[in-house]
Copies of this chain bind each other. A is one copy, B any other.
Amino acid sequence: MNKHALHKMTYGLYIVSSIKDGKPNGQIANVAFQVTSEPVQVVIALHKDNLTCEYVHTSKVFSISVLDQTADMIFIGRFGFRSGRDFNKFDNTISWKIGKTGAPIVTDHSIAYIEANVAQEMDLGMHILFIGKVVDANIIKDGKPLTYDYYHNVLRGKEPPKAPTFSI
């Protein structure tokens, strides 16, 4: 098997956020997609070791912020390479709001957001797949979606070991 073949697949880049006991948290994710149109459902995959995964599993709500190409490595690093266990990602240095589901929604460097209630979960080993029924979705502004390809090849970003697509 040539694992590089898997890197030819296309992904976007998102911040998935959730809340637990009134404390918001969020993380960078590349696996987020729509799976049905009636009802509108989306899927995300989160690593079990990540705090956001625990929050979604407990609160059953999450939001997806669709990042655009203005997102720089400092902003991405805040959500992608630090843990909410020892750092409050949702302070007043970034723009965010609480959505209809109660989940926090990051609006900085984001062109759209989607909010969902967890309808089903599937244990995949290292990751949990969450299927969410979409409660709300909105456009924030015009802009070009940030793709995982752009992140790697233009921003020169690295792949975190807990990403679903990680390979040595």
Oligomer: number of copies? 2
Q: Which residue of B lies closest to A68 (CB)?
A: B8
Measured between alpha carbons, how far is A32 from B165 in the docked complex, in Å? 12
- CB closest residue in chain B, given A123: B120
Nearest neighbor of A119 in chain B, beta-carbon distance: B124
Secondary structure class of chain A's binding surface, majority of residues: strand
Nearest CB of B to A74, in Å = 22
Interface string of A31-42 (1 = CB under 8 A from B): 111111111111
Task: Please encode chain A, from 19 to 37, with 1 for each CB lying within 8 Å of some chain B CB and 0 for all others.
Answer: 0000000000001111111
Tally of contact residues, A, Cβ under 8 A: 56
C-alpha spacing A42/B45, complex, angstroms:
11
Smallest Cβ-Cβ distance to A38: which chain B residue: B126
- Considering the chains assembled together, what is the distance between the CA atoms of A47 and B56 in angstroms? 27
A5 touching B125, Cβ below 8 Å: no
Tell me if B112 and A40 are in contact (CB < 8 A): no
Cross-chain contact B33 with A11 (CB below 8 angstroms): yes
* A3-B137, A137-B5, A139-B4 given; A35·B39 CB < 8 A: no
Report chain B residues within 8 Å CB of A12.
9-10
| A102 CB–B CB distance under 8 Å | no
